[in-house]
Amino acid sequence: MGRLHSHRHGKSHSIRPATLRAPSWITQTPSDIEALVVKYSKDGLTPSQIGNKLRDQHSIPLVKPIIKKTIDEILKENELQSEMPEDLENIVKKAVGLQKHLKANKGDRRNVRSLELIEAKVHRLSVYYKKIKRIPQNWKYKSVVAQLE
């Protein structure tokens, strides 16, 4: 699959398990895994960090085939879900960091374009999350591109 704002195809990434069945080597019960997810969330980890920790430290490749629920669904049931989705929050942080960089480096024209592309992703994701009612309808990303030019 091609990347959104580049001409490359992007083959470098981790590979998910081929089968969507629970592996035979897992010794934990679904309730134990669910308790681990809740514990790690209370420790302040994001859903993707929880998944990585379960994979690396507990040999659980995917939570969904075992529990029949995703990590986000478990967090929602236990009322531990963050107010902003993790992917949207990460892109907004990236945009804010790039805005700080551009304030310090006014001649960096290439990254002005990068900021525009990142903000386009923010707006596209926010439209989706508003449609599925994951974020409030009045949520708006405040842009400072106009201040840079």
Average pLDDT, consecutive stretches of 10 residues, N- to C-terminus, the chain (149 residues): 68 78 88 95 94 93 92 94 90 90 92 92 93 91 53
Whole-model pTM?
0.79
10/7 Cα distance (integer angstroms): 9
Identify the pLDDT of residue 14: 75
Burial class (CB in 10 A: 0-12, 13-18, 19+), 24: exposed
Q: How many CB atoms lie within 10 A of CB 5?
A: 12
Distance between alpha carbon 70 and the CA centroid of its chain, in Å?
14
Asked if 67 and 30 count as a contact pair (C-beta separation under 8 A), the reply is yes
